[in-house]
Amino acid sequence: MNEKLLELTNNLIDALTQDKVYQDLINLDKEVSESETLLPLIYRFQETKKKYEDAKQYGKYHPDLKRYTKDYQEAKEALFTHETIKAYKQAEKAFQFLLDDIAKTLAESVSSQVKYEHRYKFSHKGGGSCSTGKV
């Protein structure tokens, strides 16, 4: 039985890696990592984020918090408004939805009582209900 499950799992992995959604994500990841214009934006974002988070620990009492906050916001906007990054984030989200749907289908196929993580990151247990009536 375990060998059959492993074989089915490998078949699922092969199907996922051949899927257009996954291929788009891989191609965009390669494009991002090789981009001469994006890499400086990524490094700037990471650097300003670290400075901002370090300063934020001290709250409003840190002398450079306003400057670091502004630098971080500018770096974040420059990075996440870039067309390639927007496409990458959309591909990443589409692939995550695919994985979530597979997890949901597997969980519900086994039993309505199996818990699975919902795409909005909260655990779901099928078959349950809640009451709002007064006790």
Question: What is the pLDDT at residue 121?
Answer: 56
Residues 12-38: tens digit of each pLDDT: 999 999 999 999 999 999 999 999 999
Q: Give bridge partners of residue 79 from the DSSP assignment.
A: none
Burial label, 44 (beta-carbon count in 10 A; 0-12, 13-18, 19+): middle
Whether the pLDDT of residue 112 is over 90: the answer is no
Identity (one letter) of the amino acid at 128? G
Whether the pLDDT of residue 134 is over 50: the answer is no
Burial label, 75 (beta-carbon count in 10 A; 0-12, 13-18, 19+): buried
Whether the pLDDT of residue 124 is over 50: the answer is no
Whether the pLDDT of residue 128 is over 60: the answer is no
C-alpha to C-alpha distance for 108 and 123, rounded to whole angstroms? 13
Question: What is the pLDDT at residue 120?
Answer: 60
Question: What is the pLDDT at residue 71?
Answer: 97
Question: What is the pLDDT at residue 60?
Answer: 86
Whether the pLDDT of residue 133 is over 80: the answer is no
Residues 54-98: tens digit of each pLDDT: 999 998 899 999 999 999 999 999 999 999 999 999 999 999 999
Q: How many CB atoms sit inside 10 A of residue 91's CB?
A: 20
Please tell me the pTM assigned to this model.
0.75
